[in-house]
Structure 1
Amino acid sequence: MRLIGLTGGIGSGKTTVARMLGDRGFHVIDADAIARDIVAPGSPALQELSEIFGSGILLPDGSLNRGELAARAFIDKEHTELLNSITHPRIHEETQKRIAAAPGDVVYDMPLLVDNDLHHDMDLVIVVDVDPETRVKRLAGRGIGEEDARRRIAAQIPDEVRRAAADIIIDNNGAPEDLIPQVEAAVAKINELP
């Protein structure tokens, strides 16, 4: 089994690239999906988050209000690190279980792969790269305000650090169809791995 890291800053289009790799036979493990699973209503992580960030992060049904948590967690580095200290160990544990159970080559779709220094554990790292202003516009299309988008981008590592960790860089500044030949080239490079 080969373990391929897929990363990129918020709004870069990682999900699209992950879907394309999944369509080409790779087993995709999505860290964001795991992150949602670990904060399900009644979970220990959600309880801990509400104790630290306040009960205002909970919706009336007891589920997580992601927007409110983001507004409270991404205000500065200290709060972001608090969030990460609660969620990241749990995400890592669940990820390891899913990787162990995977039927073949795995693409680990992890926004913070380089931030958390996990890229060294991968057989190959793919970075989806997009200009920050384009990312802000894309996030606005998802209903995230410009100031909030810039704050979230600033909370992540600089793009040049992420690019420096890449074995393959996929440029997603263009049209969606521009991704196809880049993903095909990435698959060819993956298939060259032992």
Structure 2
Amino acid sequence: MKIIGITGGIGAGKSTVSSYIRDRGYEVVDADAISRSLTEKGSPVLSELAAAFGGEILTPDGALDRRKTAAIVFADPEKKARLERIITDRVLEIVTERAEAFRTKPSGTVFLDVPLLFETDAWKLCDEIWFVTARQETRIDRVMAREHCTREDVLVRIASQMPEEEKRSRSAVVIDNSRGMAELLAQLDELLAQSE
């Protein structure tokens, strides 16, 4: 069994890469999806977040307002660390359990889509790491369109992440997602063929 980690900065296209890999029939453990399930409306983790950061992080119907939460935590390293203690540690536990379960299988490849792969030491679960990147302006435009936030909001989030150069230097494969979908999928097809 081979475990490949997928990571990259905000707006780079990790979700697009993972979605395509999943569509090709591979198992993908998605840390963001796990995080969303842990913070569903009414969950104990959501109550813990509201206690830590205030009721303003909730929408009027009691769901997590991800944009408000991001604005609070990414501007303050101490609050970001608190958020990570509440959510990230739990997500990592689940990712680790799933990765260890896959290790018992005799063959195949599974992918771990973990945005904080290096920061959480989840890279230690992997046999190989694929780093997804794109030009910074492309990333900023994608996040602004997706999350309806300002350029400054995106730059704060980029600045709070591990530098791209460090992630790139620690990865076996660099996937450039700057040149459009056709080019991206061609890169992925070649990499998947090599990984089997």
- Relative to the length of structure 1, the TM-score reads 0.92
Question: Sequence identity, in percent?
Answer: 40
Match of 2:181 in 1: 176
Q: Counterparts in 2 of 1:142-181, with a 5 A limit?
A: 142=146, 143-181=148-186
Alignment partners' CA distance in 2, 1:139 and 1:107? 24
C-alpha displacement of 1:131: 1.7
Structure 2: segments with no counterpart, 5+ residues: none
CA RMSD of aligned residues (A): 1.6
C-alpha displacement of 1:140: 1.4
Q: In structure 2, the residue corresponding to 1:20 is in which secondary structure? A: helix
Match of 2:12 in 1: 12
The amino acid that maps onto 2:158 is I
Match of 2:134 in 1: 130
Match of 1:121 in 2: 125
C-alpha displacement of 1:173: 0.9
> Which 10-residue stretch deviates more, 90-99 or 119-128?
90-99
The amino acid that maps onto 1:53 is F
Alignment partners' CA distance in 2, 1:95 and 1:118? 8
User: Are the equivalent residues in 2 in contact too, given 1:28–1:108 (CA < 8 A)?
Assistant: yes
Q: Counterparts in 2 of 1:1-194, with a 5 A limit?
A: 1-99=1-99, 104-142=108-146, 143-191=148-196
- Relative to the length of structure 2, the TM-score reads 0.91
Alignment partners' CA distance in 2, 1:147 and 1:167? 31
Structure 1: segments with no counterpart, 5+ residues: none
Alignment partners' CA distance in 2, 1:89 and 1:182? 32
C-alpha displacement of 1:24: 2.1
Instruction: Work out the number of aligned pairs and report it.
Output: 191
User: Are the equivalent residues in 2 in contact too, given 1:119–1:165 (CA < 8 A)?
Assistant: no
The amino acid that maps onto 2:13 is G
